[in-house]
Structure 1
């Protein structure tokens, strides 16, 4: 039997609350995959935001080992990656990224024969898009003229125009992603299997779903125009400079659902491209989320400053050879995907397997279920300095975010421990919203989980990384477009 293709799809910012457990009629393509594949209902991310979570996905390790986090925004060489393992195993390896973090600038290109970035009309290391987005009139023309000498002028101008006028007109890149993959499938050499990684940016902030989809989710008395006018300034809300009412949060949740519904259509389109190319039946098709989202939950917006289930509990569906129809309720982690997909492709990759902290849950591998899952938030993102620059003087209430967090979760319980000495213990079975901190009432159990967490931390060498990583002005501008403050 020939080795299967592997397609690994990340729905950026997709949380389990809307995509797992129940069959929602607004996600028919995801439901179709779940009904004919394996749905893992208790999947936990190792980090609550894009960069560290993807680093864990690619290396099978946790942030304190791979070292890519808010304090060091780069996946350094040293740990082998999943793409390198597939490349060494004879696979063609491609990635299509819609999120600026997932690029060569932050260390994610290793092992990919091709890394396609949808925010560029023509692929190049030089991007003038931030000039077109941030300057107007004569000032823009002068800035463009200054930068035209860098690289290919025609390509630079094309990318600047595309970034300003076209990219966000219809979606956040999913349409263009699928068009590129369709063309790649038509042109590729069929002699070798492929590993294809896709990051879809929907439903990341800002929520801008098509009007035709939004209408079915909005409250009856809310127009599309009113919905688009609701502030989506996560940092202003957290800092208290932007107020949002319950009605406005209801609208934002409706927009989030609409983004998911739009992306679901694109997932179906991707599947049809694979079917048309005669590849789908021989493909292990994986759909997951890198982290979730807070939409007013726990007094927060955006995937930062917490390790609650709204950020860590993500969907995971695997369809294809070796994965039967059904539902698995055991704990699994995104760190487990690397060894699992290596098993699906029958690739040894001893270096990656030895470095990985994940455990394969492939159906043909007899591995006992996880006793616990771990998540880490190594430093605040944005930093207190960046947030202070954005909103002014921080209150004592905001300064509480200036700490790292670690969480250990079992099937029924969870402990979140902060570097500032805070402890939060939740009984998830009875309190899935994590509303009641039982640290005092369950002190003995808290001590046990803390001991387990500390013992786990002592089992591996931690990354020796520190300091900020430089990035181009263009990259920083794109990240600010996505709501990231540096």
Structure 2
């Protein structure tokens, strides 16, 4: 195989509005890649959170088709994956995930020769993250005692030392590993998947990246001391003022700036290894974030554009000099696009894909609409009741599925509970979405609802299934990220 290398860098929890337009972005490296390559300014995820959004990117299908969502937290083996297509075409397939959802435990390893957990030095089923997250020495000792002899104690001890003492965080460690891997890799072209989680709550950017964005009169220490627990915020266990949300927004943007510095390091690493000019590099958000937007904190329970509109930038090969493109695209379009970019046929993946190739020479017609699904609340209201006790009616109302259709002019969201939201689209973000206009636009909502039904009837749906079991250590890590 003599095709180009392909690097798919997923910028976990990065909103499109923070990277488009590039002039106001805290991510100058991403802006530079966009200026020299091709930027899709109206790219939308098929789902508002990690598990279903990654499954859509990996398979080229919508959540109803691939079946990985809050009610069935596993990507089954009935669909072909992008990594498998590249592996069978002769590519070396390697991934580094810093998000606990995107691991073998949830079915995301298919097709990868290696899929590393970015928080471990030696790959192991036992996760020592609970030790490093403990806030005082006695708590660390108790956590270590609970975990050290689960599995291989020597491997656990090595991972504990690594997680405790190694400099930097997931992104920095990933780029350091990448440098080492490039020095020893085989000569075949590679497909490399990277997930960077820094913009995910809790936002903990280094001081120098956060301070330029802090509101006047707010110190870095004050911002970092704010509680960041989206699920506790949802149920009303604590509240945040507008000023406090402004401080959290600054930490979020500082996290973007820090992640951007790691993108620069990846580019330099690939260039130093002599691989940059032979690489198609893609940077994409898997979903966005609400930092007080629309009354939400995190990325659950709604399909607002703050969660669905994401950055999508291609650089290298046929995408160089492509400029800014404004048509509606979806992140699941990555599957056919990357096959075209590498000259990989893979009829099976192409047949199953609901994506449309964004390759400059592709003959796919532009999308007239994009779609998104939130098939089950994550965590469920029942899970929140178990954690917090009594929960407000607002949270009980989230026990529903949601589906959305968005054109260039309109957006319509329908819930399984009969709820509807409609608005005219004023731009890429949700600036004009404060008020639901469904009641005064009954004819338009009916037409869009019918169009949503036609889309749902146009493809086969995955079989419904129950929740998939997970290890205690994974459950704890996901709880820390606000998912459980």
In 2: Cα distance, 1:143 partner to 1:205 partner: 22
- Counterpart in the other structure of 1:415: 412
Alignment TM-score, normalising by the size of structure 2: 0.95
* Unpaired runs of at least 5, structure 1: none
- Counterpart in the other structure of 2:382: 385
- Worse-superposed segment, 359-368 or 337-346: 359-368
* Unpaired runs of at least 5, structure 2: none
Alignment of 1:219-234 (within 5 A): 219-234=215-230
Describe the superposition over 1:152-199 as per-residue Cα deviations: whole angstroms up to 9, x where unpaired: 321112223444x346x733x000000111111111112x11100000
- The CA RMSD over aligned residues, in Å, is 1.9
- Counterpart in the other structure of 2:400: 403
Give the counterpart of 1:366 among 357, 363, 366: 363
Q: Deviation at 1:358? A: 0.9
**How many residues get paired?**
481
| Preserved contact between residue 67 and residue 75 of structure 2 (Cα < 8 Å) | yes
In 1: Cα distance, 2:39 partner to 2:129 partner: 40
- Counterpart in the other structure of 2:108: 108
- Worse-superposed segment, 94-103 or 141-150: 141-150
In 2: Cα distance, 1:468 partner to 1:322 partner: 42
Runs of 4+ in 1 over 4 A off after TM superposition: 131-150
Would you say 1:453 and 2:452 are equivalent positions? yes
- Counterpart in the other structure of 2:81: 81
Give the counterpart of 1:283 among 279, 282, 297: 279
Would you say 1:329 and 2:326 are equivalent positions? yes
- Counterpart in the other structure of 1:24: 24
Q: Structure 1 residues 261 and 348 mapped into 2: Cα distance closer, same or farther (>3 Å)?
A: same
Q: Structure 1 residues 242 and 145 mapped into 2: Cα distance closer, same or farther (>3 Å)?
A: closer
Describe the superposition over 1:359-384 as per-residue Cα deviations: whole angstroms up to 9, x where unpaired: 11211111110011010000001101
Q: Deviation at 1:126? A: 2.5
Describe the superposition over 1:396-443 as per-residue Cα deviations: whole angstroms up to 9, x where unpaired: 222111110000011121100000101101101277441122212221
| Preserved contact between residue 103 and residue 117 of structure 2 (Cα < 8 Å) | yes
Give the counterpart of 1:256 among 232, 249, 252: 252
Alignment of 1:156-305 (within 5 A): 156-163=156-163, 165-166=164-165, 170-171=168-169, 173-190=170-187, 192-305=188-301
In 2: Cα distance, 1:26 partner to 1:132 partner: 29
Would you say 1:314 and 2:307 are equivalent positions? no
- Counterpart in the other structure of 1:10: 10
Alignment of 1:344-363 (within 5 A): 344-363=341-360
Describe the superposition over 1:344-367 as per-residue Cα deviations: whole angstroms up to 9, x where unpaired: 011111111111111112111111
In 1: Cα distance, 2:118 partner to 2:411 partner: 38
In 2: Cα distance, 1:404 partner to 1:209 partner: 34
Alignment TM-score, normalising by the size of structure 1: 0.95
| Preserved contact between residue 96 and residue 118 of structure 2 (Cα < 8 Å) | yes
Look up the SS of the partner of 1:335 in the other structure: helix
Look up the SS of the partner of 1:215 in the other structure: helix
| Preserved contact between residue 18 and residue 25 of structure 2 (Cα < 8 Å) | no
| Preserved contact between residue 22 and residue 31 of structure 2 (Cα < 8 Å) | no
